[in-house]
Amino acid sequence: MENTIFKKMHLKDDASMICINAPQEFFELVTDHSSIKLIKTGKADYVIMFVSSLQEYDAKIKSALSKLNSTGILWINYPKSKGKIKYDVNRDILYRHSNKDGIEPCAMVALNDNWSMMRFREIKE
């Protein structure tokens, strides 16, 4: 699965990655993929952020954006609503809400049965 998801994410070999609020299952995928360099400080090629609420998004987005290098890519992961379990963050909400932060979604993939992820880019004027 990890090779498939990393191909969908268009990860480049030897890319640097910062993970924010990632569950253990994601860290296991990343550490099993030898060409990705997990870093904790500095600027990264990829910032992967996990949020379970809009409040969590608002609390973490500025920090996430500040960790991207000049060509960096931001992926935001949010939980899939299942049955009666609903979240106040989803594709449509992130699409509308992210504009205030100067970013817009440009791609989307399913990480697994529990998480979806959206790639964001800077809004160009």
Q: How far is CA 7 from CA 51, 71, 90, in A?
A: 22, 18, 23
Query: Is the separation of the CB atoms in 45 and 71 below 8 Å?
Result: yes
In this prediction, residue 108 has a pLDDT band, given cuts at 50, 70 and 90, of very high
Q: Which pairing describes strands 16-20 and 44-50: parallel, antiparallel, or unpaired?
A: parallel
Three-state DSSP at 113 gives: coil
At 65-83, the pLDDT tens digits run: 999 999 999 999 999 988 6
Domain CATH for 59? 3.40.50.150
pLDDT tens-digit map of 52-65? 999 999 999 999 99
Number of domains in the chain: 1
Partners of 17 in the β-ladder: 38, 46
What range does the domain containing 45 cover? Answer: 2-122
